[in-house]
Chain A
Amino acid sequence: MKDRLKDFVSEHRDEFDVFEPRPELWQQICQESQAPRKEAKVISIKFGERASFSADFLFMRVAATVVLLLGCGLTLLLMKQNTPGAGAMLAATEQKVITNIAPEIVEVEAYYVSQIEEMKGELSEYDKKVLGLGEQKEIDRELARLDSSYLVLKKQLYTTPNTEEIVEAMVQNLQIRIEVLNRQLEVLQSIKKMERTINAELKENETTNI
């Protein structure tokens, strides 16, 4: 059957388009499409006709950053695990869970760890000078022991309901370490002082002898 309406409309098709958008509309479109414009560049990899993989630059950049960060994180983690020092217990990945269980420990831990690192730095300066300290190894062993018990405590934090006690023990553990390091520092300082006075006396003796 003949559709005369359709014929009529297609005959006058152009006359039906009577509306026009406001000229300002382009500005809006322009502004909104401006932001994701950088995405326009596309990297595409084709594997024959069937499978093709395409990703824009922004996506690739984000992906590359993620990979890079993951790599750095993993290297850091491995390095920390290899050194048996006091700082090894700071696995940043666990931080989030801990903030839920015991939020105060995160700050406390960060504070003490920075103190410990500082003191260790100071100590290492002394170590370079030979001061004839036989107990050095013993202290390292003690610190390692404290470190491992700290790790045990931290693990318990996830499973035990009584977090307060454990947090207290953890803080105590950190304080003991500081105490140990402090003592060592004091010993080293006094040894150095003694050495200095002995040297001074020796010099004085020499000068008086002449």
Chain B
Amino acid sequence: METISYQDVNSHVIDKCREGDNRAQYELYKLYSKAMFNVSMRITNDYSEAEDVLQEAFISAFKNLHTYKAEASFGSWLKKIVVNAAINAIRKRRSELVPMDERTIGDIAEETYEDDSEWKVEKVRKAIMKLPDGYRVVLSLYLLEGFDHAEIGEVLGITESTSKSQYSRAKKKLLDIMKEPQFAA
């Protein structure tokens, strides 16, 4: 029941945005900017770049609002725009996000001991930011943005299985980082 009324409010605001209503646009921005900024932050790992991405994404979203059909939620539609803009931004920095030699599916020692008793959000979050670009993007898309491996593959231009193996490597690396002595505190 709650989701329905939420959707209704949204679609009303979106309709107003389509007509170029500035206040409606601000309402949408208020509603989504923080979440979208964090999506952008996790991918770019750079505050000012994340802001540029957010700006670009919102402008493009307002401009292309007429292409948004209510088949998906507005949030996930907007998130796709943000993710694509952010990935384009870091692609400008480096040519390959996932290096060619890591695209083959290797056997990763799956059995890393995951001791969640010592996990804290802040610790995990900081460790994610320490990952190299390729790992960080795949891992945050999968863990935090709710993308499945097929979607990640599509967005990054890699295969689904590469995304899977990349995620395993990233997770292993993340657990290693958290075990580092300076992270123990």
- Mark A residues whose CB is within 8 Å of B: 1, 4-6, 8-10, 12-13, 15-22, 25-26, 28-30, 32-34, 36-42, 54
Q: Are B143 and A18 in contact (CB under 8 A)?
A: no
Instruction: Tell me what chain A mostly uses at the interface: helix, strand, loop, or mixed.
Output: helix
Most chain B CB within 10 A, of A8, A10, A19, A38, is at A19
Q: Which of B84-143 contact A (CB under 8 A)?
A: 110, 114, 116, 119, 121, 124-125, 142-143
- Chain A proximity mask over B24-42: 1 for CB below 8 Å, otherwise 0: 0110010001110110010
Q: Are B144 and A13 in contact (CB under 8 A)?
A: yes
B59 CB within 8 Å of chain A: yes
Given contacts A19-B38, A20-B34, A30-B22, contact A8 B119 (CB under 8 A): yes
B73: shortest Cβ distance to chain A, in Å? 16
Bin the interface of chain B by size.
Answer: 35 or more
Q: Are A33 and B58 in contact (CB under 8 A)?
A: yes
Q: Are A17 and B66 in contact (CB under 8 A)?
A: no
Q: Are B59 and A29 in contact (CB under 8 A)?
A: yes
B161: shortest Cβ distance to chain A, in Å? 16
Given contacts A26-B26, A29-B58, contact A16 B171 (CB under 8 A): no
B146: shortest Cβ distance to chain A, in Å? 9
Give the complex CA separation of A21 and B37 in angstroms.
6
Known: A5-B124, A9-B143, A21-B33. 5 other contacts (CB 8 A): A4-B116, A6-B142, A17-B38, A29-B55, A37-B22
A5 contacts which of B18, B34, B171 (Cβ < 8 Å)?
B171
B19 CB within 8 Å of chain A: yes
Q: Name the A residues within 8 Å of B18 (CB-CB).
A: 40
Q: Which of B10-29 contact A (CB under 8 A)?
A: 18-20, 22, 25-26, 29
B9: shortest Cβ distance to chain A, in Å? 20
Q: Are A6 and B29 in contact (CB under 8 A)?
A: no
Q: Are A25 and B38 in contact (CB under 8 A)?
A: no
Give the complex CA separation of A43 and B3 in angstroms.
32
Q: Name the A residues within 8 Å of B121 (CB-CB).
A: 12, 15-16
Q: Name the B residues within 8 Å of A39 (CB-CB).
A: 63
The chain B residue with its CB closest to the CB of A23 is B33
Between-chain CB contacts (< 8 Å), 13 pairs:
A9-B144, A19-B37, A19-B50, A20-B34, A21-B34, A21-B50, A26-B26, A32-B55, A33-B63, A40-B19, A41-B20, A42-B66, A54-B66
B62 CB within 8 Å of chain A: yes
The chain A residue with its CB closest to the CB of B47 is A19
Q: Name the A residues within 8 Å of B65 (CB-CB).
A: 40
Give the complex CA separation of A25 and B55 in angstroms.
7
Given contacts A21-B51, A28-B55, A39-B63, contact A33 B25 (CB under 8 A): yes
